[in-house]
Amino acid sequence: MDSTFVKYAFAALISLAISTTAALALEQNCRFIQAKPDREACYKRQEDELAAKRKPAAPAAESTTLETLRQMRQDDDAVYRSINNICRGC
């Protein structure tokens, strides 16, 4: 049973190593392009992909948060108006 586990673990490690190597090769392939315009286009594509990954998602979350707070305040105001007519300590 140990040999079966070792075989599967070894296969998993090999596949992980291959996938990692392929990912690194995709990132570094621009420098091996001989033609300067093609190489610069490759670098430009990489910059665009990196910029797309780094785009902040915070403004969408902020607008949702502000909308939620505004809605909560409107609900609170409605509750306070309805409580205002209740006699306390009559």
Decide: helix, strand or coil at residue 73.
helix
Residues of the chain with pLDDT under 50: 22
Helix (H) or strand (E) holding 3: helix 2-28
Q: In the prediction, which pLDDT does 9 show?
A: 77
Q: In the prediction, which pLDDT does 71 show?
A: 93
Q: Where are the domains of the chain?
A: 7-56, 59-89
pLDDT tens across 42-58, in order? Answer: 999 999 988 888 876 55
C-alpha–C-alpha distance, residues 31 and 42, integer Å: 9
Q: What is the pTM of this model?
A: 0.35
Do residues 43 and 27 make contact, with C-beta atoms less than 8 angstroms apart? Answer: no
